[in-house]
Amino acid sequence: MTQVVTLHKIEFLVGSLNEDLQELAAMVMKNYDKGYLMSREETDIRYEDVRIDFNPQVQRIISSLCEEWKTAFGQEIESCYTGRLDQDHNESVWAVVHNPGDITQLHTHETAEDYRSGAHVSAAFWVQVPEDSGDFVFQYKRNPYLNEQTRIKSEPGKFLMFDSTLKHFVTKNRSKGQRIVISMNFRLKEE
């Protein structure tokens, strides 16, 4: 008897949310214009990350994405932000503003030293996407010799959720406008 057995599969979730994108863009750009960045060091990947307000709209997006993941995969997730006073909510939810010519380099969202309680699921929610302003690309190895890539077209109001260990990058913003995305990290809920 011949049998197909799957050792490992990688799945991600793509959908859309009906949110006030203009309101989100205005909040992100207000913080961007004030220079509210996650890092002041230009060589740090967090230099491109913009601090955002943890307002009701952002909280609603987080809640909606938790529900989307549970519906799709049967797993409960929660924001990595617990609301503790000593915790920075922007470690779990932040924005990226890509000006013309900007990219995001290849990276992942998990940390080896904190994988157990850190990010397991990451998400992107596109707020403002001028035509040709860059797409999201997964890069992975099917085996030790072959690099594969899967491109996800960026579109306003669209979200993408994926395993935090997946390597990904964003292609160059070739438009004349600014591209805005909100990024989030979630962890699996402990039972």
Q: Give the tens place of pLDDT for each residue, 17-47.
A: 999 999 999 999 999 999 999 888 888 778 8
- The mean-pLDDT minimum among 7-11, 59-63, 179-183, 184-188 falls in 7-11
23 SS3 class:
helix
* Predicted TM-score (pTM) of this structure: 0.92
Residue 183's beta-bridge partner residues?
Answer: 94, 124
Task: Categorize the per-residue pLDDT at 172 as very low, low, confident or very high, splitting at 50, 70 and 90.
Answer: very high
Nearest to 25 by CA among 64, 58, 63: 58
Q: Give the tens place of pLDDT for each residue, 42-90.
A: 887 788 899 999 999 999 999 999 999 999 999 999 998 877 666 778 8
- 156-172 as b/e, with b when 16 or more CB fall inside 10 Å? bebbbbbbbebebbbbe
Q: Give the tens place of pLDDT for each residue, 99-115.
A: 999 999 999 988 767 77
130 Cβ neighbours under 8 A, 6+ residues apart: 173, 175, 176, 177, 178, 179
